[in-house]
Chain A
Amino acid sequence: AQKITQTQPGMFVQEKEAVTLDCTYDTSDQSYGLFWYKQPSSGEMIFLIYQGSYDEQNATEGRYSLNFQKARKSANLVISASQLGDSAMYFCAMREGRAGGSYIPTFGRGTSLIVHP
């Protein structure tokens, strides 16, 4: 079973509008971390935002916010006031504790976001 599920292969949004990218996760751990990364067409992965499983407030970083619903095991990324430069692939990832003290991230398949002028 997939640990991270991103159900939207592609999304389109008008410039200056908000968009939500979905992410659900599967874990039996109580302690875990959730991350979102952006991958422009050039290929590099850029860290956007982090949410800890014990954080009571939703994380925010500038125009990015994470809508964390723990009971539903969802961690959706909200981008407000979309810009043309937001066009990219977006990946959701999770880190759990593993045997031996490792915290290997698991990635979803990604969502392609296209921002229209």
Chain B
Amino acid sequence: DVKVTQSSRYLVKRTGEKVFLECVQDMDHENMFWYRQDPGLGLRLIYFSYDVKMKEKGDIPEGYSVSREKKERFSLILESASTNQTSMYLCASRKYSYTEAFFGQGTRLTVV
């Protein structure tokens, strides 16, 4: 059974903290993605990666960075968390442009 696993289900952080969200997939997928989900706004793409060490900006990259040191792991970094980054964060991976994207269970981040 394919799996995308996010390291935390719930996180509460203080404004200004550096936050790491981790995502691991066991399907040997080259492509990994970070989305943010907010009510009424759907899923918005933050960053994605085609391969190790490679990253591309999505639609809303401001305030975020990413790291892909190993094929199976894709990390989202909030350099200095702000309250407007309170949201559900979803990691996903897929093999090709015409195949299914598999999602992690999501991390609900609250910044106070």
Decide whether A and B are members of one complex: no
Interface positions of A (Cβ within 8 A of B) = none
Interface positions of B (Cβ within 8 A of A) = none
